[in-house]
Amino acid sequence: MIEFEQYLRALPKLHSWDGGQTWNTGGFEREHLAALRDFLRKALPGSPAIVETGAGNSTICFLFLAPGRLVSVAPDATLFERIRAFCDANGIVTEALEAHVDGSEWLLPRMASQVRETGPMFDFALIDGCHNWPMVFVDFLYCNFMLKPGGYIMIDDVQLHSVKEMARMLSEQPGFELALDLGKSLVFRRTSGSASLGEWTDLPYIVRKSNEYARARNPFSL
């Protein structure tokens, strides 16, 4: 098995946004993955249970943690083939990887329905799948319900408006604290034992923005 530093020196280019003409690392670069792994090695228990929406170099980085379970959901079967091919070629064990070729809006609700019987099951969640509105919030809703108390939830690409709004909400939300700032990604720790955020009146960010709208000449205008 290659060393993590060897992996960082030549990150595999697993993604293409132009039909295969050019390839990229998917947005995660050496500095992001190195800092994330260092943080997770200290923050998570041994053999952690991890769930992610989206896949790529984050998946490989998580495998270096020797997870007990790594659930990864993305609609691209060939992406998982590239991930497994790289891991096989470099001796990276993939037994813990549960690759689901599906949309997170379909898979996560089915998984979250088990929480009432088994309790929350994940120590860490990465939201990096579909970045449209409302998908980032759908992913957060179900990942948060499956997150163990004291677990961590990471959101990637905060330069995008949908993701930034979720980041702003969590930054003001009781029961969450910012644990790691990677620039393009933020990791929050959930300090509350409850996964429910309550009504809109229980979300300080929503209350604050609603009060701003109420002071407008016409609060009901767009």
**Domain range summary for the chain, segments of one domain joined by +:** 4-192
pLDDT reported for residue 198: 95
- What sections of the chain are H helices per DSSP? 4-9, 30-43, 57-63, 77-89, 104-112, 115-118, 135-146, 161-172, 204-214
List the end-to-end C-alpha distance of the chain, in Å, as a whole number: 56
CA distances from 52 to 97, 99, 132, 159, 204 (A): 11, 10, 16, 19, 27
Do residues 72 and 48 make contact, with C-beta atoms less than 8 angstroms apart?
no
Q: What is the pLDDT of residues 66-87, one digit of tens each?
A: 999 999 999 999 999 999 999 9
Distance of CA 31 to the CA centre of its chain: 17
Q: Is 154 helix (H, G, I), strand (E, B) or coil?
A: strand
pLDDT reported for residue 86: 98
As a whole number of angstroms, the distance between CA 8 and CA 144 comes to 30
pLDDT reported for residue 99: 98
Q: Is 165 helix (H, G, I), strand (E, B) or coil?
A: helix
pLDDT reported for residue 160: 97
| Sequential pLDDT tens for the chain (222 residues) | 999 999 999 999 999 999 999 999 999 999 999 999 999 999 999 999 999 999 999 999 999 999 999 999 999 999 999 999 999 999 999 999 999 999 999 999 999 999 999 999 999 999 999 999 999 999 999 999 999 999 999 999 999 999 999 999 999 999 999 999 999 999 999 999 999 999 999 999 999 999 999 999 999 998
Do residues 145 and 195 make contact, with C-beta atoms less than 8 angstroms apart?
yes
Take residue 117 and report the two structure tokens written for it: 């019987």
Evaluate whether the domain defined by 4-192 bears CATH number 3.40.50.150.
yes
